[in-house]
């Protein structure tokens, strides 16, 4: 199993993921990694049912995903996994648990009370900012791009955070 991409997208499996990011990542498996989704049988089944043709969707808690990463990463089984998480904190937990990646894509992180909007579709909490700092300290590039061609070039999240005086 190879991790093709970790994307922070609080909508999980939806049109942009199924039409664009699966193709760009050349993924054949999507993991939705979120404790609440994994523990809700209705939402879990909905996510599984949204799998694009030729792709399977698997739903895990963060701890289950870490265990699978530790057991399966590096096996030459042909699996290319696109991992979807709702926030940077969970992305950091996966990396700390052994996920071997070079970068993380921020996509959709909806605005809520206590968050700061740093890009068109990305708002971060204080916890997200701290997780991003720790990811970058590990040498992982964190970039924002809503769609593979929009904005036309990925944006450096450090610059976006600095522009908002969050770094």
Which residues are identified as catalytic? 14
Are 34 and 85 a contacting pair, CB within 8 Å?
yes
Q: What one-character-per-residue DSSP string does 82-142 give?
A: EEEESSHHHHHHHHHTT---SEEEE--B---TT-EEEETTEEE-HHHHHHHHHHHHTT-EE
Q: In this structure, are strands 103-106 and 2-8 parallel, antiparallel, or unpaired? A: parallel
Distance between CA atoms of 156 and 148, rounded to whole angstroms?
A: 14
Element (H, E) at 68: helix 62-72
């Amino acid at each position: 199993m190879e991790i093709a991409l970790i994307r922070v997208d609080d909508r999980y499996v939806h049109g942009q993921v199924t039409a664009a990011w699966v193709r760009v990542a050349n993924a054949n498996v999507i993991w939705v990694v979120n404790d609440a989704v994994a523990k809700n049988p209705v939402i879990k089944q909905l996510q599984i049912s949204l799998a694009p043709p030729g792709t399977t969707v698997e739903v895990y808690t963060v701890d289950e995903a870490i265990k699978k990463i530790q057991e399966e990463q590096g096996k030459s089984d042909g699996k290319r996994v696109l991992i979807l998480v709702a926030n940077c904190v969970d992305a950091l937990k996966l990396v700390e648990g052994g996920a071997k990646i070079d970068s993380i894509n921020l996509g959709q992180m909806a605005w809520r009370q206590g968050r700061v909007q740093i890009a068109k579709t990305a708002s971060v909490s204080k916890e997200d900012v701290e997780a991003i700092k720790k990811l970058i300290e590990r040498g992982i590039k964190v970039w924002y791009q809503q769609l593979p061609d929009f904005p036309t070039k990925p944006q450096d999240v450090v610059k976006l955070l600095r522009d908002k005086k969050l770094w």
